[in-house]
Amino acid sequence: MVPSPSNPQQFQQFLSSVLSQRGPSSVPYDESTKWLIRQHLLNLISAYPSLEPKTASFTHNDGRSVNLLQADGTIPMPFHGVTYNIPVIIWLLESYPRHPPCVYVNPTADMIIKRPHAHVTPSGLVSLPYLQNWVFPSSNLVDLVSDLSAAFARDPPLYSRRRPQPPPSPTPPSYDSPLTRPPPADQSLSRPFPPSPYGGGGRVQVQHVHHQQQSDDAAEVYKKNAINKMVEMVHGDLVSMRRAREAEAEELLSLQAALKRREEELNRGLKEMVGEKETLEQQLQVISMNTDILDSWVRENQGKTMNLVDLDVDKAFECGDTLSKQMLECTALDLAIEDAIYALDKSFQDGVVPFDQYLRNVRLLSREQFFHRATASKVRAAQMEAQVAAIAGRLHS
């Protein structure tokens, strides 16, 4: 066990050193909560100076031993107008402060634990509603000790162990000495704990309280235990109901989140389908317009082929407007130049055309092809504008 310092400044240095230590002997707390653990302990020793922070080895039920922080000392307990000091140890487990600490009553050699007790087991383990309803991060050690003090004041967990009266010693003979030895005082009369409920006629003297004989009525004790039992049962039922409601609420929240995600997916899919529908409608309008144009052209030229004897291929198709005629000429010249360049490549590979002549002809043909392609691009843009204007006019009509 590492002893703690004795003043607030040393307390702060001690906690900072322990919580910042690394290695096998370091305390196993989460890094994100160490600052809160330090603040909880500083607030505790500020409110209750009788408690001191220490480090010690804690052994779990499975046999594991870990080095943990603890608050060791006494807490005040008002009982019948007198304040007693109850020794306790508050262990901060590895999961603290997300989970409650482990509190033990630590009786001295001349003390016994009351049996039965509503909140303390025979081993000294303390169980309170505040510990069972621990809520992170609002729950803290100061409120816990205050709740412990109030609960112990209603039902003290410790009592003084009754000691047998020593037999009277024989009085030594007097030798006319001017000094006489005073009789020994009963040290058990000044213990700061309530009297034992298990019988005995001893008297307790605390500060200026008058000597009195106290005994618990069996009916009152039974009634008090029954009330405590009923309170525990009701509290247990409330805790179970709250946990069930919390589980149902978590399940409903998860379902709500899943439905929200599905709603977003459906809205996104619907938006995509609406966009796709609009695109298909535009394409359908273009196709319908082109179909009407082709049908009208077929009707107009259906009877011309019967009177043709010598068909000129160049005059077989007539362009409907100037832009179409210009586009046809630009496309034909572009393809012709492409064929010419291909023929030059073939002739150069075969060795028919010299290299310098090949380069000169390819450069001239490429320049001319560039101008034809640029003209075709401009004509295509003008045709698109004309088609859009025609579609708009048809929609408005």
What are the CA-CA distances from residue 16 to residues 13, 27, 44, 101 (Å)? Answer: 5, 12, 16, 20
Provide the domain count of the chain.
2
pLDDT at 320: 77
Alpha carbon distance 266, 107 (integer Å): 66
334: which residues sit within 8 A by CB, 6+ positions away? 369, 372, 373, 376
pLDDT at 91: 92
Cα–Cα–Cα angle for 158, 163, 169, rounded to 5 degrees = 155
Residue 42 has pLDDT above 60, yes or no: yes
Mean pLDDT on 98-123:
88
Cα–Cα–Cα angle for 34, 36, 42, rounded to 5 degrees = 105
Residue 85, helix vs strand vs coil: strand
Confidence of residue 342 (pLDDT cuts 50, 70, 90): very high
Q: CATH number of the domain that 36 lies in?
A: 3.10.110.10
Confidence of residue 390 (pLDDT cuts 50, 70, 90): confident
- Choose one of 133, 160, 187: the last residue of a domain: 160
Residue 206 lies in a domain: no
Alpha carbon distance 144, 148 (integer Å): 6
The phi, psi pair for 376, rounded to 5°, reads -65, -40
pLDDT at 381: 92
Interval 270-312: pLDDT, tens: 999 999 999 999 999 999 999 999 998 888 877 766 666 666 6
Residue 356 has pLDDT above 80, yes or no: yes
Residue 377 has pLDDT above 60, yes or no: yes
Residue with tokens 């004041």: 153
Please, are residues 52 and 72 in contact by the beta-carbon 8 Å criterion? Answer: yes
Tell me the three-class secondary structure of 33-69, residue by residue.
HHHHHHHHHHHHHHHCCCEEEEEEEEECCCCCEEEEE
Residue 381 lies in a domain: yes
- Choose one of 111, 142, 160: the last residue of a domain: 160
73: which residues sit within 8 A by CB, 6+ positions away? 48, 50, 51, 52, 87, 88
Residue 235 lies in a domain: no
- Domain of residue 59: give its range: 8-160
pLDDT at 275: 93
Percent of the chain surpassing pLDDT 90: 34
pLDDT at 165: 59
- Choose one of 131, 160, 189: the last residue of a domain: 160
Percent of the chain surpassing pLDDT 70: 80
Interval 159-178: pLDDT, tens: 887 665 555 555 444 433 33
CA atoms within 13 A on the CB side of 363: 6
pLDDT at 371: 94
Confidence of residue 193 (pLDDT cuts 50, 70, 90): low
User: If we measure between CA atoms, which residue out of 238, 222, 226 comes closest to residue 129?
Assistant: 238
Tally of CB atoms within 10 A around 80: 13
Confidence of residue 194 (pLDDT cuts 50, 70, 90): low
Alpha carbon distance 124, 59 (integer Å): 15
Q: What is the pTM of this model?
A: 0.43
User: If we measure between CA atoms, which residue out of 161, 72, 146 comes closest to residue 112?
Assistant: 161
Residue 87, helix vs strand vs coil: strand
Confidence of residue 247 (pLDDT cuts 50, 70, 90): confident
Residue 231 lies in a domain: no
CA torsion through residues 360, 366, 371, 372, sign:
positive
